[in-house]
Amino acid sequence: MSDLEARLKEDKALRDTARQIVAADLAQVKGDTPERSIARRAADGVSETSFSLADRALGYATANPLLVGGGLIAVLLFVLRGRLAELLFGGFDRHDDDGEGDGAEPSPRYEP
């Protein structure tokens, strides 16, 4: 029985040591939680994601400069579509050079 008792004593000592390690780890995790609030953790996650997205966008723009340039030009043309239409179609008022019109109404102005 003494061999069995010695083994039981060793197992209890190992169990107590393991319990102390787990308790120390749990205390460390609990100690870290109040330092970083939920909002701070969310902000860290958002900033990490945004940096990752910016890095991917830069890589894409470097690999495909013509596509990115074409997209920027398309957005610029869309934003300026009213002014461009006025420049292109606003000056045609169907009047002759001598000041007399041909009887037709002036073309309507383009308004987006």
The pLDDT score that the predictor gives to residue 3 is: 86
Q: Which residue has the higher pLDDT, 45 or 98?
A: 45
pLDDT interval class at 44 (50, 70, 90): confident
Mean pLDDT of the chain: 83
Selection from 76, 78, 110, 75 nearest residue 92 by Cα:
110
Is there a contact between 96 and 102 (Cβ–Cβ < 8 Å)? yes
Asked whether residue 28 carries a pLDDT value surpassing 90, the answer given is: no
Of the candidates 75, 71, 106, the one whose C-alpha atom is nearest the C-alpha of residue 92 is 106
Between residues 29 and 98, which one has the greater pLDDT? 29
Instruction: Give the bridge partners for 95, in sequence order.
Output: 101
Query: Which pLDDT does position 90 carry in this prediction?
Result: 78
Largest CA distance in the chain: 127
Q: Is the pLDDT of residue 109 over 90?
A: no
16-47: string of b/e by CB count within 10 Å (b at 16+)?
eeeeeeeeeeeeeeeeeeeeeeeeeeeeeeee
Chain segment 63-106, per-residue pLDDT in tens:
999 999 999 999 999 999 989 988 888 766 555 455 555 555 66
| pTM for the full predicted model | 0.41
- What whole-number distance in Å separates Cα of residue 78 and Cα of residue 66? 18
Q: Output 37 or 78, whichever has higher pLDDT.
A: 78
